Structure 1
Amino acid sequence: MAIYAQELEDLLRASFPNAKIAVEGDDGRHMSAMIIDESFRGMNRVQQQRAVYAALKGKMDGPQGELHALALTTKAPD
């Protein structure tokens, strides 16, 4: 089962309601997302990406995950 841009954005929005979020990709398995959120302030990049993966609620877990690859850009607002 694949995951699509709107579903991915909805999952991210649930965890980062005030973030600027842009999701791209339409093959259901390989996507990119940019998330700019105040909650990332003071976190290093690994911590930011772990927060995003937690928001995905297992959609990328293991070889049977709905989403195979996600290119992430994360940061706190300027």
Structure 2
Amino acid sequence: MPAVEIERIIKTALPDATVELTALADDDDHWAATVTSSAFAGLTRVRQHQLVNAAFGDRLGTELHALALTTKAA
């Protein structure tokens, strides 16, 4: 999945998010993302990651093999 599509999916779920992506391999399939959003305020890190992962639905693990997340409250 290309970086632009990953960012679009995250921003659809979290419109105020800032997304920084780093390719972990040269295959559009392994990414690291730092996502900053006010929606994360007061949430545990696990819940923050769940919000991001839920945005991908069944595409995570299929179209996008791996997404290493770092989340931050804005």
Common fold by TM > 0.5: yes
- 2:30 matched to which residue of 1? 30
Q: CA deviation at 1:22?
A: 1.0
TM-score of the two chains, using structure 1 as the length reference: 0.84
For 2:72, give the aligned amino acid: K
TM-score of the two chains, using structure 2 as the length reference: 0.88
Aligned-residue CA RMSD (Å) = 1.2
Moved over 3 A (4+): none
Q: Deviation string for 1:22-70 (max 9, x for gaps)? A: 1221521100111100000111011000000111122114xxx111111
- 1:47 matched to which residue of 2? 47
Pick the aligned partner of 1:67 from 43, 64, 67. 64
Structure 2 unmatched ranges of 5 or more: none
Residues matched between the structures, number? 72
